[in-house]
Structures are given as C-alpha cells and as structure tokens.
Structure 1
Amino acid sequence: MTNQYQSAQLQELDALHHLHPFTDHQSLRSGGARVIVRGDGPYLWDSEGTRILDGMSGLWTANLGHSRKELAEAGYRQMLELPFSNTFFRTTHPPVVLLSRKLAELAPDNLNQVFYGSSGSESNDTAIRLIRHYWALKGEPKRRIIISRKNAYHGSTIAAGSMGGMAHMHAHSYPVYEGFRHIMDPYWYGESREGESPEAFGIRAARALEDEILAVGPENVAAFAGEPVQGAGGVKIAPESYWPEVQRIVDKYGILLLADEVITGFGRLGTWFASQYYGIRPNLITFAKAATSGYIPLSGVIVDDKIVDVLMAHADDFNHGYTFSGHPVACAVALKNLEIIEQEKLVPRVKEFTGPALAKMLAKFKDHPLVGEVRSVGLLGAIELVADKRTRRRFADLGRVGLICRDHFFGEGFIMRAVFDTMVTAPPLIWTQDQFDEAEEVIARALDLTLNDVAGELAA
C-alpha cells in the first residue's frame, strides 16, 4: 500500500482526512506528518528510508519491539478459527478464558478476575463504574469521590480524563465530571521545598491524600487512583517513602486502591506489574498497551476478589461492556506475547540488565549545562531541561524548549518524547547494549544542538 503513494501524497491525504490525537492541527498542516512505513525489532523506518531508533516503544507499548512474526501468526491462526465472538449473552471462548487465567497467575494474589476493553481509557472508565457500583451494592452509595493526582493521566474519555489531573485536558471537557479530586503529585524535583529530602517529601506528598479524605469526608470517598510511575506526566518517580504511606492511608480509611498500570504493566519495572515492585496491594489494576505489545488493541481491569464477591452476591446485571470485550484475536495475540516475554526472560532482564543500563546511560548527562536532573526506574527514564541548574528555574514558555529538543532527537533518528521541558523515554524490553550505545550518542548530539539554540537563555 505504501508503494502506491509518494511521501508528499500521503502527507497531503493525511492533512485532508485525518484528525490526529493530542495535536495542534494548524501546525501539523503547515509542516506535514512524518510517514512511518515499517518496523523491525527496536527500529522504525519512515517513507524517506530513514531508520529511527524507537525510544518510546511506540507509545509505551511495543515491549517486544516491532514485527515479531510469532505475534502475527497467532493473530492469523485465530482469525481463521474464530475471528470474532462477543462475551455477552452468557458466552465465552478459549482465548479469553486462557488469557484470564494467565493474567490471574501474573497479578497479585488477590486479583483473579478480568474485565476486558480495547484501550486504557476504556479500562479506567470501567474501573470508575466498578468502584462506584461496588460501594452502592455495599449500601454506601455516598462513596463516589475518587481521588487522583495533578498531572496524572488515566485516559482521554471524559470520565477517565476527569479522573486524571491534566488541566489542559480538563479545559476541553466542558465541564469536568464531578466526583473527582486531585492532590499534589509526588514530583520531588519540581515540588519539593528547599532542603527537603526525597524521603520527607514522599511522606508529605502521600499525606496530601489523607488531608483530602478528611476534607471531603471519609464516608464520601470511594478510592484513590494512581499510576505507580506517572508516565505521561513526565516519568515522575515517587520517593521510596511515598507508596508505603499511601497504602497505610488507604488501609486506614478503608477505601479502594486503583493502580493504573497501562504504562507500567508487563515487565517495564522488572516485575510483571509495578504494584509488585512497590509492594502495594491494589484492589484493581488497569492495563492495556504492552499486553499485546501494541500489535492489536486490548485492555482490561484485573479485579480484587472482595469486589467480585460483592458483585456475585447480588442477582442483577452489571450494566457495562464493550463490543470488543475479550476479542478472541486480541486475546490470542496477548497469550503469545506473554509467552514470549516469559520464554526470553525479559522481565528479570529489565531488573538485571536493561534497567541498570538505562540508568547508567542517563547518568552520563546529569552534568550537561541544560540538564537539571536525570532519573529512571526500570525501563522508564527522564531528562529535565532547565535554564538554571542551581535554582531549577524553567525556561520561559514552558514546553517550548522540550519541543526544540524533541525535534533534534527526531532529526537524529531517535524517538524521545517531550512532556513540557522533560524528555522521556521508555525503550522496548528487547534493547541490547548496541541500542543503549546508539541512544547515548544521539542524546549527546540532541542536547548539544538544543543548547546551541537556547544558550542565550541559560543562567550565567
């Protein structure tokens, strides 16, 4: 199909007919979209033949890299055998049964039932409804408030977007749905007080949850929702003191804990789920993206037995679902994806090699004139760009320098994402030392090119 059109034709057709997500369409129309035509392992190629190192796993997604034949074959075989069957009307099929069992094996012990969708947004919408339905069935319908964090990303549907804490998304909701509250995020580099240690800051950030519970009344609070690491918010990694204190507060007030693992699930932190890495006990885990390495859409919510027990105790419908809940092809691909991750020992490899390799590589740039902080956990990393390293002063027009830097990365053949002026990366789990060496060279060039563009704005 690509060969039928030249790049300029594809860009023109794209401008005429395609509305992109999270995009300034005026600027896109004037510059044209980059046309990606092929992927193989850790690399992508555009329509001009340029090879690009994929430092974002597509979109936090392609944990196995691109074009794994086994995943394509698993989908093909399932399409020939049973291309579609819904899971309504008391019906099921083998792939969804086997995948549900597998996910229950991988998840924390108390999570044994799965409700499926096709995107992280859908899964978080499902979790919102499950949480509120659970409390209604328990005779506490006033428990509707779900507390999340500023700069949290839980999806872009109106409900999931309202639960998230991104103000620029709320501005397009007209209005934000009620029933959600947002507390400070555990962002030590950007939010700590002068002289405040990461440990002390982590405790203070966690206790903002207790303050909010008391402010709205514990009898009105249903749950706390949090990403173990705030990915789309800028790879914000909580201090070690944060999550144990959050768990203590959740337990104290008897509210549910929703762990949004759409980004962190399936090995990214060196454990199957980041909840296991941090030792928390969520009542619901939402997942998507890397469940199939992005080869076909699939998402879900893994649910605590105590929530399921309440559902089972009431002889009425849970009036919620999607046409593609538990799609057989998606489930078959997910099963093969998880099988390969296990066979190639990619989860322990993150802990033992790729995670430390990312941390070592990023640490080499901490003294660069533009860099205020580098940080990573597992295969999630960030580089903070600042105008003044000593005071952590940002550049004027927040996000402008991040986009300059991002464009230099793209120009040098490496995909690294800008979140305002934070450069973030989430490499596929299959990276070898060769990819880390290549990335290091590109990061050095991109930072130097950006420095040349903004040198006059740096502190003396």
Structure 2
Amino acid sequence: MNHPLSNSQRRDAEALLHPYANAVALRANGVQMIERGEGIRVYDETGKSYIEGLSGLWCAGLGFHNAELVETAREQMAKLPYYHLFTGKSHETAVELAEKIKELAPGRIARVFYQSSGSEANETQIKMAWYYNNALGRREKKKIISRVKAYHGTTIVSASLTGLPYNHLDFDLPVERIRHTSTPHFWKGAEPGETEAEFTARIVRDFEEMILAEGPDTVAAFIAEPIMGAGGVIVPPEGYFSAMAEVARKYDILMISDEVICGFGRTGQWFGAQTLGYDATSYSMAKQLTGSYLPLSAVGINEDMAEVIEKHTGEIGTFGHGYTYGGHPVGCAVGIKTLEIYHRIDAPGRVRALAPRFAAHLDRLAGHPLVGEARHTGLVGALELAPGKSPKGFATPGKLGPRLAQELLERGVIVRPIVDSIAFCPPMVITEEEIDELFAPVEAALDATEAWAKAEGHLG
C-alpha cells in the first residue's frame, strides 16, 4: 500500500483486529478497502476494479451483485426478520431449505441442522459424533482423525481439526482427542520411485495403522474435505477416498465430508464427495449455500445417525446444542433462492463446461520455470511455485507466493497465496472470456516474481 494512509484505512486500523493478519504490518501499510461488487469483480475505494479470483473466501459462487438474492432478503426481512428453532419453534423457510438440501445431498440424508459458519458446522459435526457414540454406550469412541494441511475452521475443536500450524500457534491447540493423518498430495509427498497407486496405498495404510495404534474402539470419525482448500488446493489421487472410506467402514468410524468449499457445484457435481467418489455419514455445508450473501451453514446427517440421536434426546431429555442464528429466516430464504438459481443455471453442468478452459490455463502456466505443479478440479485450482520445479520447495517458504499475489493484485486480480501456492476459485458465473481475463496477467506476474526472487537470492 502507498503512504500516507487514507482516512478510511486509518479508521480501520483504529477500529478492527483483522483475522489472519499481522496487525503491526497492517497498521503500517494499511488495508485494501473494498467498496462495491458487480459480477465477478469488486472495486476498491479509489474505484479500481479487480477480478475476484477466489470468490472472496472461496464462497461468492454467484458473484457480487445478484439482484434476486438482494430482493429475496428484503422480502423476508419485511415478513419475518428473525426467529429461532429452539424448544419446539420453527418457520417455513428453515423447513423448505432443509428439504431442498436433502434432495441434493448424496446418500440417505435424513435431518439438517443449521449454524452460521463452516467452523460452527464442523464443531457441530464433532459434538454430534460424541453424542451419537454416547447414545450407543460407546463412551471411549471419541477420537477424531483429520489430516495434515486440512482446514476445517477456527473455533476450538474445528481449529484443532485444521492441520495448519498457524491455526494452533499460541492458541494452545490442538485439543485432546484430535489426530492428523497423511496429506494426499502425490507430487509433494511421494517417495522416490513411488507410483501414484503405491503412494495412495501407503497413506491409506498410514490411516489404518493410526486407527489400530489408537484403538478402533476409541476412534469416532474421520473428517475430510473432498479437495483441500486452505491447505493448498490439494486434489487427492484416484481411488484415495474409496479406500479411506472402506477403512472407516471396517472399524465403524463415521465419515464426515466437509463440503464448505466443494459443495453446490464447485467441483462439477452438487457435492465434492460425488466428484471424488465416496459416500459420507454426514456433510458440512456453508459458503455457497447462500452464495455467501448471508451467513448460514448446515450439517446433514444420515438416517442411522438421526435415529440414534433423536431417540437419545427422549432418553436424556434434550439435544443441548444450538445457535441463536442457526436457521435464521433471512439466511434460509436466501439459501432457497440461491439453490433455485443454481438449478436454473445448472451450476454443476456450467462448471463442467468451463473446467477445461480453466484447466488449460493452469496447465499452460505449469510450464513456467517458476511453477512446480498445477492442480485443479472443476473451478478450483492452484499453481505451486518451486525452485527448479522441485517438490522440496524453497529454503525459506512463504516468500514467493505472497509476492506473486501482490504482483497480480497490481494487475487487477485478487487471488489467495497459500505459502508458495496461489489458489484460484472464481465465481461460478464466470464466462469463458472472463476466465481468459483472469489468467491474462499471470504469466507477466510470474516473470516479475521470478526476477524479484533472483534479485533477493531465493533462486540460488
């Protein structure tokens, strides 16, 4: 950012503590103030436009100014601006959206439970897993297996499930009962001479050996994103999830699919689990559930889990869990309209049609000397920077990724640096021509980043 700070930047520095940020650096350099949005673009306080290459935070699937969603929120606000679902109360929008989620979700989803965020959805998942096993008299079956580089949120348990160091640092996390198994990243994690099939077999074996070491009677659930988002857009090898699900079934372990990024068309199917070929016991949903126009998340559970939990509420008198804004009528109304629009535009089909053009740009850029690997499925992808295309990475990680993101920002594209990977996840309403616009400045930005890295000694 240029100095001096604008008045709005100065006010921000005096009012806000920002997530995922160095507060000292922000006070010195200022923040980027975004004032409005239109289609796939957002505009800063100076009026400069940017293609939002990450849909905000992987979430604005319908872009940044959908008039139907705005009007739906206004109408519902005028009719019933707030009500709750506690102690036997309900409202039509919560019921209707739950019915529509059940129609879309794979497997035998029987009940839907609402929250406000993906973090809360995954927190709910773990509380449900513990409640479920207590209901069955399995009071030691409580450990949850996540994965290194997973991202499942920032509340106490969901941050513990997250397998990224910065989410734990000085928060006294992870908490007990949480374990992390191997990351399914073949390019980065394969041993010399190992084939993709051999790599997959090895990390599935790691999972089973962890279960046996912990004791199968102590492991309640395995939680996974179909495609790992904040861990670097890691696409698992073919056959990985079917093998992991088979191990989970073998030891009577719940399979939780975190669809917060992958759900509602992003991968070319309604749910990422469908794209990756597995069924789950339960599904976490958020972000694109409302196009992120309002905060809303949901957990869908299967028939067996619903039956056990509901029976247990009769035995002990309550299901003592919930959120004030879970199932908020305005959020649910916007969710209903969002799903209606996804159906109308055939969001999964649209993504499948656009995916080859999106992939072609990433694959082309993989030939750049600074790029080690391109990864993609549907309309989510990443470029990972590497010295000499080596998966070992840079001696000082996390320098080149942010530099490339800054070069792209100066060229009118907002992306997300994840250490030395750059993530792309544009709104699903993007056109083929806009995909070309999104990637048009990337090669020049890579060239500039490479020149900077050489000058700074990051490339030897």
TM bracket, shorter-chain basis: over 0.9
Choose from 137, 140, 148 the match for 1:139.
137
Q: Is the 8 A contact 1:143 1:222 kept in 2?
A: yes
2:367 aligned with 1:367: yes
Determine whether 1:350 maps to 2:348. no
Distance 1:458-1:28 versus aligned 2 partners, 3 A rule: closer
Structure 1 stretch 91-100 or stretch 276-285: which is displaced more?
276-285
Contact 2:148 2:183 in 1 (8 A): yes
Q: Which amino acid aligns with 1:381?
A: G
Q: Where does the alignment leave 5 or more consecutive residues of structure 2 unmatched?
A: none
Q: Of residues 127, 130, 151 in structure 1, which corresponds to 2:128?
A: 130
- Matched with 1:445 is 444
AA matched with 1:348: G
Per-residue displacement from partner, 1:280-315 (whole Å, max 9, x unpaired)? 111110111110111000001111110110012221
Cα distance, 1:373 vs. partner? 0.7
- 1:268-283 equivalences under 5 Å are 268-283=266-281
Once the two structures are superposed, the pairs formed by residues 169-184 of structure 1 within 5 Å of their partners are 169-184=167-182
Question: Aligned partners of 1:40, 1:337: CA distance in 2, in Å?
Answer: 17
Q: Distance in 2 between matches of 1:387 and 1:398?
A: 11
Secondary structure of the equivalent of 2:130? helix
How far apart in 2 are the matches of 1:142 and 1:405?
Answer: 48
Give, in whole Å, the separation in 1 of the partners of 2:436 and 2:5: 31
CA contact (8 A) 1:382 1:423 kept: yes
SS of corresponding position for 1:66 = coil
Contact kept? 1:207, 1:246, Cα under 8 Å: no
CA distance in 2 between counterparts of 1:334 and 1:244 reads: 31
* 1:351-410 alpha-carbon deviations (Å, 9 max, x no partner): 1x2211111111111111100111100111010101122x33422321011111111111
1:448–1:182 Cα change, 3 Å: same
CA distance in 2 between counterparts of 1:449 and 1:333 reads: 42
Q: Distance in 1 between matches of 2:18 and 2:142?
A: 33
Asked if structure 1 preserves the Cα contact closer than 8 Å seen for 2:5 and 2:29, the reply is no
Q: Find out whether 1:149 has 2:147 as its counterpart.
A: yes
Structure 1 segment 7-406 matched on structure 2, within 5 A: 8-314=6-312, 315=314, 316-351=317-352, 353-389=353-389, 391-406=390-405
Query: 1:246-276: CA deviations, max 9, x gaps?
Result: 0110111111001111110110001111111
Distance 2:8 2:458 in 1: 40
Q: Is the 8 A contact 1:206 1:243 kept in 2?
A: no
How far apart are the structure 1 equivalents of 2:15 and 2:150?
Answer: 31
* Residues 64-109 of structure 1, C-alpha deviations (whole Å, 9 max, x = no match): 1111000000000000000001111201101000000000000013
Amino acid at match of 1:336: K
CA contact (8 A) 1:124 1:160 kept: yes
Tell which deviates more after alignment, 425-434 or 192-201: 192-201
Residue deviations 1:219-250 (CA, integer Å, cap 9, x gap): 10000011111100000110002111101101
- 1:368 maps to a residue whose letter is H
* Cα displacement (A) at 1:436: 1.4
Structure 2 counterpart SS, 1:322: coil
Instruction: Report the equivalent of 1:3.
Output: none
CA distance in 2, matches of 1:307, 1:129: 12
Q: TM-score, normalised by structure 1?
A: 0.96
The answer on whether the counterparts of 2:264 and 2:347 sit within 8 Å (CA) in structure 1 is no
The SS at the match of 1:372 is strand
RMSD (CA atoms): 1.3
CA distance 1:454–1:7, change in 2 (3 Å): closer
Cα distance in 2 between the residues matched to 1:60 and 1:186: 21
State the alpha-carbon separation in 2 of the partners of residues 374 and 383 from structure 1. Answer: 5
Q: For residues 278 and 53 of structure 1, what CA distance do their matches in structure 2 show? A: 29
* Structure 1, 195-204 or 443-452: larger mean CA deviation: 195-204
In the aligned structure 2, how far is the partner of 1:140 from the partner of 1:85? 36
Query: What secondary structure sits across from 2:88 in the alignment?
Result: coil
Residue 333 (structure 1) shift: 0.3
CA distance in structure 1 between the partners assigned to 2:153 and 2:173 by the alignment: 16
**Secondary structure of 2:422's aligned partner:** strand
- What is the Cα deviation at residue 56 of structure 1? 0.3
Name the CA distance, whole Å, in 1 between partners of 2:459 and 2:49.
36
Q: CA deviation at 1:427?
A: 0.9
Larger mean Cα displacement after TM superposition, 172-181 or 426-435: 172-181
- Give the AA of the match of 2:377: V
Do residues 408 (structure 1) and 407 (structure 2) align?
Answer: yes
| 1:426 maps to 2:425 | yes
Residue 459 (structure 1) shift? 5.7
AA at the equivalent of 1:219: D
SS of equivalent to 1:453: helix
Task: Report the equivalent of 1:454.
Answer: 453
Separation in 2 of the partners of 1:175 and 1:401? 28
Give the whole-Å Cα distance in 1 for the aligned partners of 2:424 and 2:197: 25
Unaligned runs of 5+ in 1: 1-5
- Aligned pairs, how many? 453
> What SS is found at the alignment partner of 1:364?
helix
Checking the alignment, whether the CA contact within 8 Å between 2:190 and 2:199 is kept in structure 1 is yes
AA matched with 1:435 = E
Is contact 1:346–1:429 with CA below 8 Å preserved after alignment?
yes
Q: Distance in 1 between matches of 2:388 and 2:44?
A: 36
Structure 1 Cα separation of the partners of residues 202 and 226 of structure 2: 17
**Amino acid across the alignment from 1:444:** E
